[in-house]
A and B are shown apart, each in its own frame.
Chain A
Amino acid sequence: MTASPPPSPRVDEAACADTVARLRAHREPRTLVVGNPNTGKSTLINAVAGTRLKVGNWSGVTVEKREAHLKRGEQTIHLLDLPGAYSLSPHTPEELITRTALLDEAPDVLLNVVDAGNLERNLYLTLQLLEFRVPMLLALNLVDEAKNKGLEVDAAALSQELGVPVVETVGVKNIGTAGLLDATLSRAQIGHPLRYPEAIETAAADLEDKMAALATLPPHAYRYLALSLLEGDPSLRGRLSATGHTPLVDAADAHRAALELGGFDPLIEIAEARYARAGDIARRAVPNAELKLTLTERLDKLALNPWLGIPIFLGLVLLVFRLTFTIAAPFVDLIGGPLQDVASGWAVSLLGGIPLLKDVVVGAIIPGVGTVLSFLPTLLVLYLAMSFLEDSGYMARAAFLADRTMRGLGLDGRAFIPLILGFGCNVPAVYATRTLERKSDRVLVSMILPFMSCSARLPVYVIFSAALFPKAGAWVVWSMYVLGMAVAFAFAWVLRKTSLPAEGSGVLLELPPYRFPAWKVMWTHAARRTASFAKRARTTVLATVAVVWVLLSIPAVNGQKFGEVPPAQSLFGRASQAVSPIFSPLGFGNWQATGALVPGFIAKEVVVGTLGQIYLGEEAKRAAPLGLVAGLQQTALSTWEAVKTSVQALPTLIALPSLGADSSAEQKTPLAKALAKAFTPAAGLAYLVFVLLYTPCVATIGAMQAEHGRRMAWMTVAYEMGIAWVAGLLVYQIARHFL
């Protein structure tokens, strides 16, 4: 290690005064919030901005953009929270966003969030940030956690060393957050930038002079740009070359070549100088660092144990699903059953005079949209549980445990997490692919995700196995899950060999310390994700349901009235009959089965609903009118029942779930009887395989389109239709000889 050079005394007083004056004049000073991943930045920002935090996406990329406008006295502050970054040489889309914002967003202030328990590594980014001529304020976060580790950080000494004010904060407990904003504005300072070995300083000064002569680059970034070019940062070279700064890049390359000729690698020298300085500052600010055995280490002895690690992981996954289904199921039944009945009753009372409107609301919109909305409780609980595992630091451990298994597909352990989520619901799972670093990995995992059998497909399996395989129902359900996984991995392997080869190599995971997540942050994340799902129910699903209803109402035979046709003679029925020969080789060439697959596109559980509607006639239209008071009473009663059932189910969480649990109960239902007549066992099996593998639901396609674009989403739809057809054909043609 080289001795650290003394802190540079060349604080540009004039520039400082200038910037502070500019801040005062500027009506909405732009504060960029920067920090390493896992420094508690999200919690801190939530504490500061709370509900005023607006979340969107950065244009063109699916990385969260979080901003807030806050009033402080007469001034409005524009707060822009940037994604976590270890450094400013971008390795992930998140880090690229952070750097681009620092270069382009004309920041007035930087709010640098630092983990007090990991000062040395966090200071690496801090020293890089000090290379921008922008006033900075340092939030020394998680001081309580550091104290528990035995680390007592001297904020005054840290402030002295860096030349910027330091505010101690604990985001979770809201300590130090109130004064943070005032401090950001009034006290932020341009700190002491690090001085590098002379050879690098000379080269950097020359590049800065060249930039000053150009007047096209932002002056606050000259020093950062010069040093990054000397480090040979490939993405920055690309960006500058593309914007007509090739002479600058060439000059930097010449400097680099000259330095390397002298046995001096600027990349290593700069990193070493920063760490030497960071270590030096850390020693001054944390004089008697003596680490205690932390909770994290004790937990990891269990969670990452060679023998217990995987069983614990599987146990946790099981617990999440049990939690999701047990806690949420009564509310799903509530929304799908009693609440829909009440809504139908009211609709009949209100719209009784307009039969057509009544029919579309009661017969299509309430059951269609209602079914989709009935999944909201499941999703909310699933998202909360997943947020807990993510924010607590466990997900990184799960990735560590799964890495070896995922390697065969050129993926790393992190890819395992979205796949597990896919068993709950494919939609959040597609969004969870954001945690993967490489674009090709995100696309690959999204494309195989729909094969992971989501919970919406379970009702279809359950009713078919009850109807056709009363003795082996559990095995049928189980084999659907296994088949889905097998097809997912096989398809991934094919994609890797053909259109999506693995990019790059090298896998690095950080295992952050375990933390108890902030309830507020978990809740905001989960509520936001659930709300975006509900939004789709209002738009896409509503539209599709209405279309299916119209198609079921249009008579295809002369002499019948709109809305009064038996399903088989409706346009829907006739169209299904026309398409059904395609499925004859798969054993289920009847129009009812084929027709039900179409609305299954909206949500797979609708397959059961549609089969019910077709086979069992038009019960939905028979809803009775209901008064306001009676409806409210019924709602309150059913809600109370749901809460009671949910709470009573809690003690059963640790019990093992039984596969196809409800099959005996479903056995006697009229629909099961009708299915037993309409399908042979082999045809039923082929139908289930088709339902498992054919196009993902509209919500999943929407998520894919949002993440990876329209083309990829529709390609997946096409591939999966093909695979489902071939798999259904194989299953039927083989199974019919045995069943």
Chain B
Amino acid sequence: MTVSPSDVTLSTLKPGEAAHVVALDSKHPLRRRLLELGFIRGAKVDVVRLAPMGDPVHLRLGNTDLALRAADLVGVTVRRS
């Protein structure tokens, strides 16, 4: 999967939307951890909900529920499914 112009960052997705991971920014502060938790190319991510004040974001990756801050979602490029 290579980045195409229609791809967006994970931060632009709204609750209820899902996407597949296309790329992870090489300077992302959580790069290693995200890879280990399954943010690999092709993995499906669901945006479940936002925290009460709009941040952080509750995500589901496979059977794992995670929370990441919107700022950390900018470095994840995804393709809407």
Contacting residue for A400 out of B24, B38, B56, B71, CB 8 A: B56
Distance in Å: Cβ of A673 to nearest Cβ of chain B: 48
> Can you name 20 A-B residue pairings with CB atoms under 8 Å?
A86-B33, A121-B62, A121-B63, A124-B38, A265-B26, A267-B31, A267-B35, A275-B43, A300-B58, A304-B49, A306-B50, A309-B52, A310-B52, A399-B67, A505-B71, A506-B28, A506-B29, A507-B56, A508-B30, A508-B72
Q: Which residues of B contact A119 (CB under 8 A)?
A: 63
Q: Does A680 contact B (CB under 8 A)?
A: no
Q: How far is the CB of B28 from chain A (nearest CB, A)?
A: 7
Q: How far is the CB of A197 from chain B (nearest CB, A)?
A: 14
Bound-state Cα–Cα, A291 to B68, Å:
23
Distance in angstroms from B41 CB to nearest chain A CB is 7
- Given A304-B51, A404-B53, CB of A271 within 8 Å of CB of B72: no
Determine the chain A residues whose CB is within 8 A of the CB of B24 once the complex forms. Answer: 268
7 closest pairs, A vs B, by CB? A506-B29, A271-B35, A506-B30, A511-B65, A509-B67, A404-B53, A87-B36
Beyond A87-B36, A121-B38, list 7 extra A-B contacts (CB 8 Å): A272-B40, A300-B58, A404-B51, A506-B33, A506-B72, A508-B37, A511-B65
Could you mark each residue 67-106 of chain A with 1 if its beta carbon is under 8 Å from any beta carbon of chain B, else 0?
Answer: 0000000000000000000110101000000000000000
A91 to B34 CA separation, bound complex (whole angstroms): 12
Q: Which residues of A contact B63 (CB under 8 A)?
A: 117-121, 291
Instruction: Assess whether B32 is interfacial by the CB under 8 Å rule.
Output: yes
Query: What's the minimum C-beta distance from A513 to chain B, rounded to whole angstroms?
Result: 8
B68 touches A507 (CB 8 A): yes
A508 near B35 with CB under 8 A, answer no
With contacts A118-B64, A306-B50 taken as known, whether A89 is within 8 angstroms of B32 at the C-beta atoms is: yes
B41 engages A120 (CB within 8 Å): no
Is A401 part of the contact surface with B, judged by Cβ < 8 Å? yes
Binary per-residue interface labels of chain B (47-81) against chain A in the complex, 1 for a CB within 8 Å, 0 otherwise: 01111111110100011111111011000000000
Which residues does chain A contribute within 8 Å of B48, judged by CB atoms? 300
A307 CA to B49 CA in the complex, in Å?
12
Closest B residue by C-beta to A234:
B32
* B38 contacts A404, C-beta separation under 8 Å: no
Q: A86: which of B29, B37, B53, B62 is its contact (CB, 8 Å)?
A: B37
**A268 & B36 in contact (Cβ 8 Å cutoff):** no
A403 interface residue (CB < 8 Å to B): yes
Q: A619 — which chain B residues lie within 8 A by C-beta?
A: none
Nearest chain B residue, comparing its CB with the CB of A233 = B32
B55 touches A510 (CB 8 A): no
Given contacts A121-B62, A403-B67, A507-B68, contact A271 B56 (CB under 8 A): no
Kindly identify which residue among B32, B43, B72 contacts A267, using a CB–CB cutoff of 8 Å.
B32
State the Cβ distance, A341 to closest chain B Cβ, in Å.
50
B33, B36, B55, B62: the one contacting A404 at CB < 8 Å is B55
Determine if A403 and B55 form an interchain contact, defined as CB atoms under 8 angstroms apart: yes
Known contacts A508-B67, A510-B64, A511-B66; is-contact A124 B56 (Cβ 8 Å): no
Q: A244 interface residue, CB < 8 Å from B?
A: no
Q: What residues of chain B lie closer than 8 Å to A307, measured between beta carbons?
A: 52
A: interface residue count bin: 35 or more
Contact A1 B42 (CB under 8 A): yes
| Residues of chain B in range 2-36 having any CB-CB distance to chain A below 8 Å | 24, 26, 28-36
Chain B residue with minimal CB distance to A273? B40
Contact check: which of A1, A86, A399, A400 meets B36 at CB < 8 Å? A86
Q: A504 at the A/B interface (Cβ < 8 Å)? A: yes
Interface residues of A in 316-331 (CB under 8 A from B): none
> How distant is the Cα of A309 from the Cα of B67 in the complex, in angstroms?
15
CB–CB A400/B67 < 8 A: yes
State whether B51 touches A275 (Cβ < 8 A): no
Whether the Cβ atoms of B65 and A508 lie closer than 8 Å is no
Is the CB–CB distance between B36 and A271 below 8 Å? yes
B67→A275 contact, CB < 8 A: no
Chain A 392-436 interface 0/1 with B at a Cβ cutoff of 8 Å (1 = within): 000000011101110000000100000000000000000000000
B62: chain A residues at CB < 8 Å are 118, 120-121
Q: Give the residues in chain B near A291, CB-CB below 8 Å.
A: 63
Task: A265 to B32: give the CA distance in the assembly, Å.
Answer: 12
| Residue of B whose beta carbon sits closest to that of A115 | B63
Q: Which residues of A contact B72 (CB under 8 A)?
A: 505-508
Given A272-B41, A400-B67, A507-B72, check contact A304 B58 (CB 8 Å): yes
Return the contact of A510 from the options B52, B53, B65 (Cβ within 8 A).
B65
The answer to whether B69 touches A403 (Cβ under 8 A) is yes
**Which residue of B has the minimal Cβ distance to A271?**
B35
CB 8 Å contact bits of A268-282 with B (1 = contact, 0 = none): 100110010000000
Distance in Å: Cβ of A295 to nearest Cβ of chain B: 13
CB of B22 to closest CB in A, whole Å: 12
A residues in contact with B40, CB < 8 Å: 1, 268, 271-272, 275
Known contacts A1-B41, A310-B52, A511 near B36 by CB under 8 Å? no
Q: How far is the CB of B33 from chain A (nearest CB, A)?
A: 6
With A304-B49, A401-B51, A404-B55 as given contacts, are A510 and B66 in contact (CB-CB < 8 Å)? yes
Distance of A716 from chain B, by nearest CB (Å): 30
Q: How distant is the Cα of A112 from the Cα of B51 in the complex, in angstroms?
A: 34
The answer to whether B32 and A400 touch across the interface, beta carbons within 8 angstroms, is no
Q: Complex formed: what's the CA distance from A121 to B63 in Å?
A: 8
Min C-beta distance of B75 to chain A, whole Å: 9
